[in-house]
Chains A and B, each alone.
Chain A
Amino acid sequence: MNDSATAIERIFREEYGRVVASLVRRFGDIDVAEDAASEALLVALEKWPVDGTPPNPGAWLTTTAGNKAIDRIRRERLRDAKHQAAEMIHDDTPHEPTGIVEDDRLRLIFTCCHPALALEARVALTLRLLGGLTVPEIAQAFLVAETTMAQRITRAKAKIKGANIPFKVPDAEDLAERLSGVMAVLYLVFNEGYLASSGESAVRAELTGEAIRLTRVLRSLLPDEPEVAGLLALMLLSEARRPSREANGELVTLAEQDRGGWDKELIAEGHELVRECLRRNRPGRYQILAAINAVHTSAPTAADTDWAQIATLYGQIAAIDPSPIVELNRAVAIAELDGPEVALAIVDRLPLTTYHAWHATRADLLRRLGRSTEARDAYDAAIAATENAAERAYLSRRRGTLAG
């Protein structure tokens, strides 16, 4: 593919969510919107290299795709009602980066993340319709066959149409709950990329970038929702450390990471968002997780970490959302404050025997207590419970350092 085609496809992907959302609002049909957007891309690939890229490529694509959709509806005379609707709607909405068109994307993200759709379908639809990823890209990122992913998306779109899942921002009474559903999808996309092990496709790692981009869109649409700011901060502060999390195919723990390798710009932006959240004083799960990451990224060395603050913050999450995983994380901070024995007593009470991090945490605490035999068993259990190659390498090395 030549450079200009690559550049056009990049713009297309960047604008895809906006174009499709606007067309879905106008025509009330996702398939019509997607087909029209693809046709507009073909026209762009033909015209832009000759005429030059238009000053507002998003507006150009939306207008061109809109005309293509009307052409198609006229040509195929899909259904009378739709035909008439297309005739009646003469869309004068100017394409601008703010205002009504932005609201279209917000409507569409609530449709894609509707609780009546299976979680995996929500993730796939969000990446497809708002992220502009292709079906093969999404299939590759989630390690499933392309036909499986295509079916998943087709079925979800059929349900949206058949069950009449609306394109709208939920009512005020439902907004908080539905928004947390949207954020859960974005965080899942982020973690799929963040936790991807070494040697896997680059597409998987790109999911973190995609999740951040979509969360930025969500934040621009809902600037007064502190949890959205918290989620963005959490992603930025995690992403900042991602390159340092692994060396030579082995996981590098937070304590051992080269802090000079952390991305200072992302950290600065994340810290600013956390400060904004603190000023708003409407804490929530993502904001507190972001604050914990802010404490870690504020410490010049691992030894400078304010563990008391971290233990307190995990305690705050536990108050909102009591979960054994939160308690496990709090125990890690307690180990630094009150010693491994106190922490181990907490960890041993948690019902997490199938969770690799529980075994890994126990193994580390037992190692620090000099209980080598038990530590070795715990490392074995942790290694058996994880699929992640880098993590297995790390755990195996740690296991090898045990005495006896």
Chain B
Amino acid sequence: MTQYLLSVHGPADEPAYASEEEMRQAFADTAKFNDKLRESGAWVFAGGLQPIDQATTVDGTGDRPIVTDGPYVESKEVLGGFWIIEAPDLDAALKWAAEGSKACRGKVEVRPFQSV
């Protein structure tokens, strides 16, 4: 089994959903998808993130940590949420990603974790 990060990326400065109704439906579909992940045993962790303007960056590589308001990299596309799943192979992970993408209305990047 391999663990995969399924991350959802979207535009930083425009609303992710066409309407309030669309947003509610996406949330409902995502909740349903999450239940399916749990039931199948593929679920490890998942969560949606607050908007990027609530991010804080910390640089602890020097003598004292430096704290800055805002994201590490200014970008038009930001991480909106993610799943961590466990799957037998990439094909299985891609299937979950396709389903998750449909549910949350966002493009999903699939990336394997290093094996421990």
Chain A residues at the B interface, C-beta cutoff of 8 Å: 114, 116, 162-166, 168, 170-171, 174
What class of interface size applies to chain B in its complex with A?
A: 10 to 19
**Contacting residue for A166 out of B4, B91, B114, CB 8 A:** B91
Cβ of B91 and Cβ of A170 under 8 Å apart? yes
Task: Tell whether B112 is near chain A: CB-to-CB under 8 Å.
Answer: yes
Interface string of B1-34 (1 = CB under 8 A from A): 0101000000000000000000000000000000
How far is A165 from B84 in the complex, measured between Cα atoms in Å? 18
- Closest CB of chain B to A112's CB: distance in Å? 14
Task: Tell whether B77 is near chain A: CB-to-CB under 8 Å.
Answer: no
Residue of B whose beta carbon sits closest to that of A114 = B90
Cβ of B94 and Cβ of A164 under 8 Å apart? no
Which residues on B sit within 8 Å (CB–CB) of A162? Answer: 112, 114
Which residues on A sit within 8 Å (CB–CB) of B110? Answer: 163
Task: Tell whether B35 is near chain A: CB-to-CB under 8 Å.
Answer: no
**Contacting residue for B90 out of A166, A171, A174, CB 8 A:** A166
Which residues on A sit within 8 Å (CB–CB) of B88? Answer: 164, 166
Task: Tell whether B59 is near chain A: CB-to-CB under 8 Å.
Answer: no
Residue of B whose beta carbon sits closest to that of A110 = B91
A-B contacts, 26 of them at CB < 8 A, read A114-B90, A116-B90, A116-B94, A162-B112, A162-B114, A163-B4, A163-B90, A163-B111, A163-B112, A164-B2, A164-B87, A164-B88, A164-B89, A164-B90, A164-B93, A164-B112, A165-B89, A165-B91, A166-B88, A166-B89, A166-B90, A166-B91, A168-B91, A170-B91, A171-B91, A174-B91
Query: Which residues in chain B, 80-116, are within 8 Å of chain A measured between CB atoms?
Result: 87-91, 93-94, 110-112, 114
How far is A116 from B89 in the complex, measured between Cα atoms in Å? 12
Which residues on B sit within 8 Å (CB–CB) of A114? Answer: 90
How far is A174 from B110 in the complex, measured between Cα atoms in Å? 19
Which residues on B sit within 8 Å (CB–CB) of A116? Answer: 90, 94
List the 9 closest A-B pairs by CB distance, nearest first: A166-B89, A164-B2, A163-B112, A165-B90, A164-B89, A163-B90, A162-B112, A164-B90, A166-B91
How far is A116 from B87 in the complex, measured between Cα atoms in Å? 16
How far is A320 from B88 in the complex, measured between Cα atoms in Å? 35
Of listed B4, B90, B91, B112, residue having the most chain A CB within 10 A: B91
Which residues on B sit within 8 Å (CB–CB) of A164? Answer: 2, 87-90, 93, 112
How far is A116 from B92 in the complex, measured between Cα atoms in Å? 12
How far is A171 from B95 in the complex, measured between Cα atoms in Å? 12
Which residues on A sit within 8 Å (CB–CB) of B4? Answer: 163
Which residues on A sit within 8 Å (CB–CB) of B112? Answer: 162-164
Which residues on B sit within 8 Å (CB–CB) of A166? Answer: 88-91
Residue of B whose beta carbon sits closest to that of A115 = B94
How far is A108 from B3 in the complex, measured between Cα atoms in Å? 23
Residue of A whose beta carbon sits closest to that of B114 = A162
How far is A164 from B86 in the complex, measured between Cα atoms in Å? 12
How far is A150 from B14 in the complex, measured between Cα atoms in Å? 42
How far is A163 from B6 in the complex, measured between Cα atoms in Å? 12
- Closest CB of chain B to A181's CB: distance in Å? 13
Which residues on B sit within 8 Å (CB–CB) of A171? Answer: 91
Of listed A162, A164, A174, residue having the most chain B CB within 10 A: A164
How far is A174 from B91 in the complex, measured between Cα atoms in Å? 10
How far is A162 from B114 in the complex, measured between Cα atoms in Å? 7
- Closest CB of chain B to A386's CB: distance in Å? 37
How far is A165 from B4 in the complex, measured between Cα atoms in Å? 12
Which residues on B sit within 8 Å (CB–CB) of A168? Answer: 89, 91
Residue of A whose beta carbon sits closest to that of B1 = A164
Which residues on A sit within 8 Å (CB–CB) of B91? Answer: 165-166, 168, 170-171, 174
Residue of A whose beta carbon sits closest to that of B87 = A164
How far is A114 from B93 in the complex, measured between Cα atoms in Å? 14
Which residues on B sit within 8 Å (CB–CB) of A165? Answer: 89-91
How far is A165 from B94 in the complex, measured between Cα atoms in Å? 10
Which residues on B sit within 8 Å (CB–CB) of A163? Answer: 2, 4, 90, 110-112
How far is A168 from B90 in the complex, measured between Cα atoms in Å? 11
- Closest CB of chain B to A229's CB: distance in Å? 26
How far is A168 from B93 in the complex, measured between Cα atoms in Å? 15
Which residues on A sit within 8 Å (CB–CB) of B94? Answer: 116
